[in-house]
Amino acid sequence: MKREVPLFLTAVIGLFMILSFFVPHQWVSVPADFLQACAVILVAFGYVLGGANALRVNFDAIYKRKQGWPYKIVLVVSLLATVIIGAIEGPGFLNPNMKSKWIYDWIYSPMSSTMFALLAFFIASAAFRAFRIRTVEAGLLAIAALIVMLGRVPLGDLLSNWLFELRWLPGAPHTLHLSTIQEWIMDNPQNSAKRAILIGAALGVMATGLRVILGIERSYLSGED
């Protein structure tokens, strides 16, 4: 029964939600909306479990003086302080002059921005590796990337104008300009490949969903048979 009941509920609710996509009538759409609201409530309870796990793992690391344990003290204190202040301030915790808002604006937001800013450096190092030409395919990728990058900045237009209008080929058609070529690369080869991946992925989504709904994929339930 421990497995049969969840499998039955998954099948019935899953098929009902698929049905709600095609049947807009209130007898279907109202229960479907209700089920989605239930999912939100369920997630709220899940946060209690998540918070308890975060505290248990970090308290244990502090107690056993594991590597980096002083940072875990900072984490636990920050977690508890944010939760307690938020609970005291209640629903209006993000209004101006609230302590929670201050924490968000002056601690959380700058730290998030700092992490995000690191992306610029990582893109530079990753691009350096990506554009090393070792094979024919890597060569094609590097040429396409160069055209797209140049074609999207004013420098590309200046270069195209200088090459085709002033210097080598005065009156050359606009199709030879970097901006036009990059547009073609993005609209045709790039878009086609992207759509092919998306169609495959969408079918994968449906197949996975169907496997779960029909109970063929049931490993998520638990390890006990």
Partner 1 sequence: MLAAGTVVVAVTLASSAFSKPAPAPAAAPDTIAAPRPASGLVATDVANDAGRGIALEWKVSPDDVVGGHVLTQYYINRAESPGGPWTVIDSVAAKTTNKVDQNVSRNTEYFYRIDALGPGGLALAGSVTGPVRATSQWVNTTRSSVMVGTILFFGFVLYYIASAQSGKKPFVRRIPGIDAIEEAIGRATEMGRSVLYIPGIQDISDIQTVAALVILESVAKLTARYETPIVVPVTYPIPFTIAEEMVKAGYLHAGRPEAYDPDSVRFVSPEQFAYVASVTGIMLRDRPAAHIFMGSFYAESLLLAETGFATGAIQVAGTANVHQLPFFVVACDYTLIGEELYAASAYLSGEPKLVGALKGADLMKIIIIASVVIGCILETLRLHGFTQWMATQ
Distance of CA 165 to the CA centre of its chain: 44
Alpha helices by DSSP H, listed for the chain, are 4-22, 26-63, 69-89, 99-103, 109-130, 136-151, 154-160, 178-185, 191-213
Q: How far is CA 163 from CA 146, 159, 175, 225, in A?
A: 16, 6, 13, 71
- Taking each helix axis as running N to C, give the angle between helix 191-213 and helix 4-22, from 0 to 180 degrees, rounded to the nearest 10: 130
Under the criterion CB under 8 A, does residue 187 sit at the interface with partner 1? no
Query: Of all helices (H) and strands (E), which one includes residue 108?
Result: none
Stretch that binds partner 1, among 2-10, 41-49, 147-155, 176-184 (CB under 8 A): 41-49
Q: With respect to partner 1, which residue has the nearer C-beta, 48 or 166?
A: 48
Shortest distance (Å) from residue 130 CB to partner 1: 4
Under the criterion CB under 8 A, does residue 207 sit at the interface with partner 1? yes
First to last CA, the chain: 10
Stretch that binds partner 1, among 14-22, 153-161, 170-178, 179-187 (CB under 8 A): 14-22
Under the criterion CB under 8 A, does residue 161 sit at the interface with partner 1? no
Under the criterion CB under 8 A, does residue 77 sit at the interface with partner 1? no
Place of tokens 């209008």: 165
Interacting residue ranges for partner 1, rule: CB under 8 A: 18, 21-27, 29-30, 39, 42-43, 46-51, 53-54, 56-57, 60, 67-68, 71, 108, 111-112, 115-116, 118-119, 122-123, 125-127, 129-130, 194, 197-201, 203-212, 214, 216-217, 219-224
